[in-house]
Homo-oligomer: A and B are copies of this chain.
Amino acid sequence: MKNKYSLLLVLGILISFTIRAQGNNDIPDIPGYKTLKCDFHIHTVFSDGKVWPEIRVTEAINEGLDAIAITDHLKYGKLGKYPEVQEKNRNRSYEIALEAASKSELIVIRGAEITQGMPPGHINAIFLTDANIAQKEYMDTFYEARKQGAFIFWNHPHWKSPDKDFKQDGIPEWYDVHSEMLKKKLLMGIEIVNGRSYSKEAHQWCIEKNLTLIANSDIHIPIGMEYDLTLEHRPTTLVFAKEKSENGIKEALMNQRTALWFEDNIIGNETLLTHLFQESIKIIKTEYLENLAVVTISNESGIDYLLENTGEYSFYNKTNFVELNAASQLTLMVKTGQVMDQFHLKWSVKNMLVAPDTYLTAELLCKKSGIITDKKEIK
């Protein structure tokens, strides 16, 4: 029945939508680690956001996130963005969110955004024990955060802030103060994805300086007003943690075990991305129709994959570019020219960036699992 193919296609799309809408943890775990979906940069009316902290919890649960950090700007408070919100205690937005999440599995992390002009720009500290850390000198604020055991990262270094001291060309600049922070272990990661932006320059810095890659929404308005959640997802830091807990996340962040989910892309180091690819894409079977290998490949993740064939064999039913969408299957007819006990499909994974402009190279082992005897199949 030839048209089962297109039927499966339709069902694949529906299932894909369903999974995404449900917000299940549709990013697979990798060997030894749970994959946690996190957003570490979120605002509420307690700084310049537009929603009450509870809403941030409901949003995150609906989207299937594992953890969020509430990171209102420290500078607002006494005399802030909204004069009507008269709260000096910088912990309040976190406390309200924590209470709202109390009956759920969502982890809420206490954070703060230390908002400085450039340099050093905006800095997030998360895993604080008390968010009232603002000091006269910003460096002292960082020290205070560090004293509390915080994970500290530089937000959107490429940001075109309306403020004068920020560059407006989207190209980030590394200042001496950043080197100083790095040296003093006050800078552990960089938000190379912020909202709808990505900085390849900042990406390169992370690689060179062994900093943790971070992607956040930096959301101020209701999340559904910014992202059409039936079609897309917020930028997410995937954290590969030994356990689903606040400590588990912190340990992973401190050890650079993250990957970033930005639009259809996954950004991270080669080892982690290789694991994630291997857990996402499975060879279901490899059957031979005489000398042609008929391989069934399944994408068991919520990630849309874009694969370029770089192996020695071309395909009978595809050009070299293959899209393998979330939660769907594909049949590849591989022109091996002979029956082989096993062979490798080789890919340049165009939606997986191991460095700026550099894509993950991946292999999939295809072991012969059977013979197709009915030659009447697909022409």
Contact = CB atoms under 8 A, between A and B. Distances in A.
Interface of A: 1-7, 9-11, 13-15, 17-18, 21-22, 45-46, 49-52, 54-55, 58-59, 61-62, 82, 84-87, 92, 156, 158-160, 162, 167-171, 194-201, 218, 221-222, 224-228, 230-232, 262-265, 267, 289-292, 306, 308, 314-321, 323, 333, 335-338, 350-351, 353, 356-357, 375-376, 378-379
Top-8 shortest CB links A-B: A168-B290, A222-B222, A169-B291, A6-B228, A224-B224, A170-B316, A86-B86, A84-B87
A2 B13 CA distance: 26
Contact of A171 (B11, B195, B337): B337
Contact of A321 (B7, B160, B350): B350
Given A222-B225, A224-B222, A321 B351 contact: yes
Nearest to A61: B1
Contact of A196 (B15, B61, B338, B378): B378
Contacts of A320: 357
A101 B52 CA distance: 21
Contacts of A4: 62
A319 B198 contact: yes
B62 A376 contact: no
Contact of A52 (B21, B82, B86, B292): B82
Contact of A170 (B160, B227, B333): B333
Contact of A226 (B6, B227, B317): B6
A164 to B, nearest CB: 10
B52 A45 contact: yes
B18 A17 contact: no
A168 B291 contact: yes
A54 B62 contact: no
17 contacts: A3-B221, A6-B226, A9-B232, A15-B18, A50-B51, A50-B55, A84-B85, A84-B92, A86-B86, A168-B289, A168-B292, A169-B290, A169-B335, A196-B317, A199-B316, A201-B314, A218-B379
